[in-house]
Amino acid sequence: MDIRQLRYFVTVAEEANFTRAAARLHLAQPGLSAQVRRLEKELGHPLLDRSGRSVTLTEVGEAVLPYARAALAAVEAVRQTADEFTGLLRGHVTLGHVSGAAAAADAFDLPAVLAGFHEAHPHVEIALTEDTSERMLAALHRGELDIAVIGLADEEAPPGISVQVLVDEPLFAAVAPDDPALTSPDRTSIALAELRDRPLISLPRGTGLRGVLDRACAQAGFQPRIAFEAAAPPFLAQLAARGLGVAVVPAPDAGAAPAFGLRALEITEPRLRGRVALAWRTTGPSGPAASALLDRLRTGLTAPAPDGPGMDGNCR
């Protein structure tokens, strides 16, 4: 039995797809399939059911999977123990990044921190993925992600998750200059209730900003009328500029609204806030490499002082 075959089997089980598993492992799919079949032949049982649209575990595969993961963890522990004597850090870290968080680049520079970490620890492999906050929180709980940059929809961090807020900004409604909401050229805010019957342009479900909007509207007694969804906040402003609705955007993008001929009105009564945070399991990352990256991210990503309630790394 080859340790690589166990890694291949675990990866296919996690991805439920040979093509995605091969891409994650940087292998050709036929070679991956052949190695898994050799493992199955050696064990004398099929581990994967390939008959459906997605690959699923057989009964034997379900039983074998925890031991395969334990074997891989043991091998990694042997390597880490040996590396401790030379001060060498190696391993694999999975990092999630919320869709549209590039708009927060003025507040924190994630690529710069990752580049600095890679220079200091070239033997640590970092896998960076982009997804919605909701799916990344689920992946953190399952151990599929070590760390994630997420949008926070609630005042409290989810159970089992610790966070450090990186961005805490008010949310704005980007409206056209001739919009009927602008009864005064000096107007700077708009009450949430005024958006009740307006077509809104927002980030998709599962993002922190959308969660904040949906929760606030529910508490105000109405359901937001979402006309368009897009993952990139600047694109929301472009849609609003074409007269397709009112864009709900975070503060950095509100500053760019004039470029599209829009006015940015802070949403009030209540004031809504968009928060981007670093998140990890409360029990801590799975290994030394992930712990080292988390430490670098916590110190390297700046956190502007909020003017409203926030959270820090001690929140659960």
Torsion over CA: 205, 208, 213, 214 (sign): positive
Average pLDDT of the residues of the chain:
84
Phi and psi, residue 176, nearest 5° = -70, 150
pLDDT of residue 313: 41
Q: Residue 17 maps to which CATH number?
A: 1.10.10.10
Q: Does 40 share its domain with 125?
A: no
How much of the chain exceeds pLDDT 90, in percent? 44
Which DSSP string do the residues of 8-76 spell out, in sequence order? HHHHHHHHTSHHHHHHHHT--HHHHHHHHHHHHHHHTS--EE-SSSS-EE-HHHHHHHHHHHHHHHHHH
The pair of structure tokens assigned to 316 is 């659960």
Final residue before a domain boundary, out of 36, 63, 84: 84
Residues 99 and 164 in one domain: yes
List Cα–Cα distances, 4 to 31, 32, 70, 114, 233, in angstroms. Answer: 12, 10, 14, 28, 42
What pLDDT, on the 0 to 100 scale, is given for residue 312?
A: 44
Closest CA to 316 of 150, 162, 147: 162
Residues 114 and 215 in one domain: yes
Domain coverage including residue 64: 3-84
Predicted local confidence at residue 85, as pLDDT: 59
Q: Is the pLDDT of residue 61 over 90?
A: yes
Instruction: Identify the pLDDT of residue 44.
Output: 94
| 103 and 72 belong to one structural domain | no
Does one domain contain both 188 and 105? yes
User: End of a domain among 84, 104, 127?
Assistant: 84
Could you give the number of structural domains in the chain? 2
Please tell me whether residues 77 and 97 are part of one structural domain: no
What global pTM score does this model have? 0.65
Give Cα 27 to chain centroid, integer Å: 26
> Are both 74 and 98 inside the same structural domain?
no
Verify that 185 and 117 share a domain, yes or no.
yes
Whether 125 has a pLDDT exceeding 80, the answer reads: yes
- Neighbouring residues of 243: CB distance < 8 A, sequence distance ≥ 6: 176
Do residues 307 and 199 share a domain? yes
DSSP string for the chain:
--HHHHHHHHHHHHHTSHHHHHHHHT--HHHHHHHHHHHHHHHTS--EE-SSSS-EE-HHHHHHHHHHHHHHHHHHHHHHHHHHTTT---EEEEEEEETTGGGGTTT--HHHHHHHHHHH-TTEEEEEEEE-HHHHHHHHHHTS-SEEEEEE-SSSPPTTEEEEEEEEEEEEEEE-TT-TT-SSTT--EEEGGGGTTS-EEEPPTTSHHHHHHHHHHHHTT----EEEE-SSHHHHHHHHHTTS-EEEEEHHHHTTGGGGT-EEEEEETTTPEEEEEEEEETT--SSHHHHHHHHHHHHHS--PPPSS----TT--
The model's confidence at residue 208, banded by pLDDT at 50, 70 and 90, is confident
Are 137 and 78 in a shared domain? no
One domain for residues 62 and 98: no
Last residue of a domain, one of 61, 84, 107: 84
pLDDT, tens digit, 9 for 90 and up, residues 140-183: 988 889 999 998 888 778 889 999 998 888 999 988 877 776 66
The CATH number of the domain holding residue 268 is 3.40.190.290
Same domain, 22 and 110: no
Nearest to 7 by CA among 38, 36, 46: 36
